Amino acid sequence: MARAGRYAALAAALRAGGAAAHRHHLEDQLETVLLQLLRGAGLPGLAAMPPVAPLGAGLLVRPLLGVARAQLRAVVQARGLRCLEDPSNADETFDRNYLRRQVLPLVVNRWPGAVRTVARSARHIGAAQDLLDRLARTDLARAADGAALSVAALRALPLERRRNALRFWISQSGRAAPDAARLEEIAVTLLAARAGANPVVSWGLTTVQRHAGQLTLDTLRPVLAGYELTWHPHRTPRLTLPAGCGRLELVPAAHGSSMRRRCRCS
């Protein structure tokens, strides 16, 4: 949450043509690759941090990604600069701190070149992802039907290219990409549905819906504060909530004959 808040504040402050520079260095890149790998990330995550990325109206640049931490410390000490350490960096309940303090010293001791070789692998992965993005742009240009996508054109693509195009389409809209299960639901189940079914796949406040021969992408409106809803659970055991907030359901309790309410989010 704090990280997202920092980036949002930087994005809001940047003007067109401006740039924000981060001090991420070579070891930060190694930490990022290993964390993403342990989290089961795809190619975008394993490509780790790019040296230049769009941020708001400007750019986020990382000019020190190829510089080791020891080199930076040497420069700081040679110039007599004071080095500030965030106290939270010592808290090993955070995954990155645990990896940095407990795991990476063992890795680097066994494989001294790991910092640079893993960074090189991340660059290779980034290049592969760039090719996939270019392929996605080509496939989407052929499938474009106004602001929507043609179901027939998407179904004509091999499944892996279809997944790639859909993931890119959603991400380029500025929305969070769906997890693997929902992406598969869009790429297979939703596209295979009959024309009049109008199926929907939702995550967070994002929805992908099929209308006849088109696929559309939309953002649900959040529920207004103070919204009131009357529910009579014994007459209507399931109540669908507005704005993609899921549903309320009355289910038998695990023990006894009483009932309990359960909120199931979509």
Looking at residue 150, what is its pLDDT?
A: 95
Q: Is residue 138 part of a domain?
A: no
pLDDT band at 102 (very low <50, low <70, confident <90, very high): very high
pLDDT tops 90 at residue 35: yes
Per-residue pLDDT at 215 exceeds 70? yes
Mean pLDDT of 184-197: 88
Please check the confidence at residue 247 and state whether its pLDDT lies above 90. Answer: no
Per-residue confidence (pLDDT) for residue 234, from 0 to 100: 67
pLDDT at residue 8, rounded to an integer: 79
pLDDT over threshold 70, residue 195: yes
pTM over 0.75: no
What pLDDT does residue 264 have? 46
Question: Do 33 and 116 lie in a common domain?
Answer: yes
pLDDT, tens digit, for every residue of 111-122?
999 999 999 999
The answer on 201 and 161 residing in a single domain is yes
pLDDT per residue as tens digits for the range 140-167: 999 999 889 999 999 999 999 999 999 9
Domain shared by 21 and 107, yes or no: yes
Same domain for 17 and 117, yes or no, is yes
Residue 165, domain CATH: 3.30.465
Reported for 208-215, long-range contacts at CB under 8 A and 24+ positions apart, including other chains, are 208/166, 208/170, 210/151, 211/148, 212/151, 213/145, 213/150, 213/151, 213/152, 214/145, 214/148, 214/149, 214/150, 214/151, 215/148, 215/149, 215/150, 215/151, 215/154, 215/186, 215/190, 215/191
What is the rounded average pLDDT of the residues 30-55?
A: 90
Residue 110 lies in a domain: yes
Domain, as residue range, for 72: 2-125
**pLDDT given for residue 103 in this prediction:** 95
Residues 10 and 115 in one domain: yes
Could you give the 3-state DSSP secondary structure of residue 219?
Answer: strand
Is there a domain that residue 230 lies in?
yes
Percent of the chain with pLDDT over 70: 81
